[in-house]
């Protein structure tokens, strides 16, 4: 029986296979695997990582750290720069777990240190020319001074360096990913030379999917690879059969004058993230027998989705049936859907589906 509403499905076999591949890669490369849990935000999916011996994890918010701490994860990096307003929350977590977060400026180290009650690890965030956040990788003097401030603090200790090469998301082939990520690794070599005793953690899914060796890097923390999505296919990180999640949406109406179908499935289900594919912008990609270059989610409003179809796909779709669609950005789709279904009828948790603080 098809659900009458947009539903997010996960295939645990593909999830396990994606985890297995990344665990093996980390082992072969001799780096610690500290996967990012911001994509799935699920205790049930987290348990699959435990099957592979994972103990240290990465999250993107304090709320998410508390969610996984409540399931027994006690070695957590919050891969977001320290928030001086949130000292009470850091104190709550550091009383129970080994917590690390990121830092960019001495000012924050000092402001935070005055309010901390327990030990907090600080990774210096390094910007590898991505331009979002972090100390530019070339500014060794500033990095040295920041490290000194961390060492001189009462409650903080240096956890190492954290580097997210988010500009790999602009790549559109494995070669392009490789070029960008190797440049980032090259920049990190100077960090390793000057601070050889400290770990270097490196994060993004495209780099970790495409590279086999990580040079100066000693830890990797990719997140999206657990599910992948249609954007990662475009980037060159994965193939469609490695995508572990899909949306199932009811076909509501057909518009034969324009080969379009209306589905129930909109911005509140998929998110408004999109990816340029050839000369169109895609908000989702119909899968299986509907996977076709001419068939894609053309637009989304709050609850409406419009699929532009090839004539062949259009003729196969029927009102009252459902269609399976790869999300563009699985992290945001999962964040909105707030639970996962499996084909055998299980429902897996998502942090947003629970009443958890803060």
Q: Which residue stretch of 131-139, 184-192, 309-317, 342-350 sits at the interface with a second copy (rule: CB under 8 A)?
A: 131-139
Q: How far is the CB of 103 from a second copy (least distance, A)?
A: 9
Work out whether 111 is an interface residue with a second copy (CB under 8 A).
Answer: yes
In the block, tokens 């057909």 appear at 254
> Nearest 5°: phi and psi at 119?
-70, 135
* 262/277 with CB nearer a second copy: 262
Structure tokens at 144: 């040295």
Strands (E), 256-303: 260-264, 275-277, 280-282, 285-286, 296-300
Q: How far is the CB of 343 from a second copy (least distance, A)?
A: 18
* 31/108 with CB nearer a second copy: 108
* 2/241 with CB nearer a second copy: 2
Nearest-angstrom CA–CA distance, 99 and 30: 23
Residue 107 makes CB contacts below 8 A (sequence gap 6+) with none
Residue 324 makes CB contacts below 8 A (sequence gap 6+) with 9, 246, 247, 248, 286, 287, 288, 290
Binding mask 21-60 for a second copy (x = CB under 8 A): -----------------x---------------------x
Structure tokens at 209: 């999917």
Q: How far is the CB of 196 from a second copy (least distance, A)?
A: 27
Q: Which residue stretch of 184-192, 194-202, 228-236, 248-256 sits at the interface with a second copy (rule: CB under 8 A)?
A: 248-256
Cβ–Cβ under 8 Å, residues 33 and 279 = no
Nearest-angstrom CA–CA distance, 332 and 62: 18
From candidates 154, 212, 345, 355, binder to a second copy by CB under 8 A: 355
Question: Under rule CB under 8 A, which residues in 184-243 are in contact with a second copy?
Answer: none
Q: Which residue stretch of 2-10, 26-34, 237-245, 286-294 sits at the interface with a second copy (rule: CB under 8 A)?
A: 2-10
Cross-strand pairs, 308: 260, 296
Residue 86 makes CB contacts below 8 A (sequence gap 6+) with 62
What does DSSP say about strands 322-326 and 135-136: parallel, antiparallel, or unpaired?
unpaired
What does DSSP say about strands 280-282 and 275-277: parallel, antiparallel, or unpaired?
antiparallel
Question: Under rule CB under 8 A, which residues in 5-24 are in contact with a second copy?
Answer: 5
From candidates 12, 14, 16, 63, binder to a second copy by CB under 8 A: 63
Cβ burial of 132 (10 Å; 0-12, 13-18, 19+) is exposed
Question: Under rule CB under 8 A, which residues in 282-341 are in contact with a second copy?
Answer: 299, 301-304, 306, 319-320, 322, 331-332, 335-336, 338
* 104/171 with CB nearer a second copy: 104
Q: Which helix (H) or strand (E) holds 7?
A: strand 7-10
* 25/269 with CB nearer a second copy: 269
Work out whether 141 is an interface residue with a second copy (CB under 8 A).
Answer: no
From candidates 17, 105, 138, 310, binder to a second copy by CB under 8 A: 105
Work out whether 252 is an interface residue with a second copy (CB under 8 A).
Answer: yes
**Torsion region of 278: left, alpha or beta (phi above 0 gives left; psi -120 to 50 gives alpha):** left
Q: Which residues bind a second copy (CB under 8 A)?
A: 2-5, 38, 60-63, 80-86, 88-89, 104-105, 107-108, 111, 131-133, 166, 250, 252-255, 258, 262, 264, 267-268, 271-273, 299, 301-304, 306, 319-320, 322, 331-332, 335-336, 338, 352, 355, 358
């Amino acid at each position: 029986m098809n659900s009458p509403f947009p539903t997010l499905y996960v295939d645990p076999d593909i999830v396990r296979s994606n985890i297995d591949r990344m665990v093996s890669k980390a082992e072969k490369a001799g780096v610690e695997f500290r996967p990012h849990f911001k994509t799935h935000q699920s205790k049930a999916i987290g348990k699959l990582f435990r099957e592979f011996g994972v103990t240290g994890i990465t999250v993107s918010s304090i709320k998410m750290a508390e969610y996984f701490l409540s399931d027994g994860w006690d070695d957590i990096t919050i891969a977001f720069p320290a928030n001086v307003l949130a000292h009470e929350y850091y104190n709550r977590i550091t009383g129970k777990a080994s917590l690390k977060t990121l830092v960019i400026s001495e000012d924050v180290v000092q402001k935070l240190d005055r309010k901390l009650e327990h030990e907090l690890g600080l990774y210096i965030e390094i910007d590898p020319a991505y331009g979002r956040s972090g100390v530019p990788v070339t500014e060794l003097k500033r990095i040295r001074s920041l490290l000194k401030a961390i060492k001189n603090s009462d409650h903080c200790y240096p956890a190492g360096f954290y580097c997210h090469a988010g500009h790999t998301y602009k790549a559109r082939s494995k070669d392009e990913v490789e070029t960008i990520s190797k440049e980032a690794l090259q920049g990190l070599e100077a960090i390793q030379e000057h601070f050889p005793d400290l770990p270097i953690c490196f994060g993004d899914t495209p780099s970790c999917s495409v590279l086999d060796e990580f040079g100066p890097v000693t830890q990797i923390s990719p997140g999206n690879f657990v599910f992948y999505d249609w954007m990662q296919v475009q980037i060159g990180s994965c193939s469609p059969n490695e995508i572990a999640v899909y949306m199932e949406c009811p076909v509501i109406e057909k518009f034969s004058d324009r080969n379009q179908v209306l589905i129930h499935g909109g911005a509140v289900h998929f998110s408004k993230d999109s990816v340029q594919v050839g000369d169109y912008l895609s908000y989702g990609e119909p899968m299986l027998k509907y996977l076709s270059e001419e068939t894609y989610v053309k637009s989304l409003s709050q609850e409406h989705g419009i699929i532009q179809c090839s004539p062949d796909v259009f003729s196969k779709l029927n009102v009252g049936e459902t269609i399976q669609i790869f999300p563009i950005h699985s992290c945001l789709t999962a964040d909105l859907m707030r639970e996962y279904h499996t084909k055998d009828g299980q429902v897996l948790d998502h942090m947003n589906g629970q009443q958890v603080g803060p």
